[in-house]
Amino acid sequence: MSVLSVQQISKNYGAVKALNNVSFEVPQGSVYGILGPNGSGKTTLLGIVMDVLKASGGEFRWNGQPGDADQRKKIGTLLETPNFYSYLSAEKNLEIAACIKERGLDDIDRVLQMVNLHQRRTSKFNTYSLGMKQRLAIASALLGDPDILVFDEPTNGLDPAGIAEIRELIIELNRQGKTIIMASHILDEVERVCTHVTIIQKGVLKTSGTVQEVLSASGETDVLVEIAADDATGLETIIRQFPGVKDVKVFGHVLSVLCTENVSAGQINKYCFEKGVVLTQLNMKKKNLETRFLEITGKQSDR
């Protein structure tokens, strides 16, 4: 069952097409990543499905129904930088948020515990770290216990520790049965938490599917192996002669070796040993989401 169905959504700003006939389906229970370079249309798309912006064409449905005010009340959202009163506590800020949302006033203790802020519930917002502020914004989105959460760049501006905090929170929320839709440009984080992904560039949908489907869609089955030895020159000479090697690149004392799919780590290790070279490093590398993303979009921002 699709939680969100987007059909031929377009958004024009004069002659500029921010979105051009974008369509995809978000399965129930998924963590769905919407990826794209800066300026690709991710935030515009989320604004449309949350009815903050009006589409120029196309339609979307939440749980099979057209988007309306009642539907939106059942969705927890974080679309902008957390905006709370700096001189008020977490509790007081969430009370205000609950009154505005008309839901969740009796839910404040629970959501603060979920985001690990209950012990700091009486602390003023301006004493919070960036990670804590972002977790409070997610707590606000969780008021009323919505089954669907929509986050725009939930780790934006955070340090590595803050990013890890939000990552673990998203994983835990999904374990509890929440469907999470998140726009992001931090590819490593998306690969760690998302089950499905859509990639948008210049308002055009480039690919969509499970993370594994997107990674394997290029049809390439080559493997990348990183190897090193004390005798780096000798290693390079012999590895170029190994059956199945297609290319060798040298990065300092490490060789990056592109091989056909049937090559295994054991075969390489045995071959080098028999040729008199003992490997000090041997890593089989898989294609990651960043590599695939750059294959699809190139290296330029859309701005």
Domains in the chain and their CATH numbers? Answer: 2-216 (3.40.50.300), 223-286 (3.30.70.100)
| Mean predicted lDDT score pLDDT of the chain | 87
Q: What is the DSSP letter of 147?
A: S
Percent pLDDT > 70 in the chain is 92
C-alpha 223/C-alpha 245 separation (Å) is: 10
- Would you call 94 helix, strand, or coil by DSSP? helix
29: pLDDT confidence band, cut at 50, 70 and 90?
Answer: very high
CB atoms closer than 10 angstroms to residue 147 = 15
Token digits of residue 177? 């049965």
Q: Which pLDDT does position 220 carry in this prediction?
A: 55
Q: Are 75 and 230 in contact (CB under 8 A)?
A: no
Global pTM reads: 0.75
Secondary element (H or E) of residue 59 = strand 57-62
What are the residues facing 9 on neighbouring strands? 22
Q: How far is CA 241 from the centre of its chain?
A: 40
Residues 204-238 have pLDDT tens digits of 999 898 887 887 665 555 677 889 999 888 999 99
C-alpha 5/C-alpha 63 separation (Å) is: 8
Q: Which pLDDT does position 299 carry in this prediction?
A: 54
Residues 174-184 have pLDDT tens digits of 999 999 999 98
Q: Which pLDDT does position 4 carry in this prediction?
A: 94
CB atoms closer than 10 angstroms to residue 123 = 14
Identify the CA nearest to 210 among candidates 195, 199, 188, 221. Answer: 195
CB atoms closer than 10 angstroms to residue 292 = 22
Residue with tokens 């009340």: 73
For 34, 233, 257, 269, the CA distances from 240, given in Å and listed in that order, are 40, 11, 9, 14
C-alpha 78/C-alpha 138 separation (Å) is: 7
Secondary element (H or E) of residue 261 = none
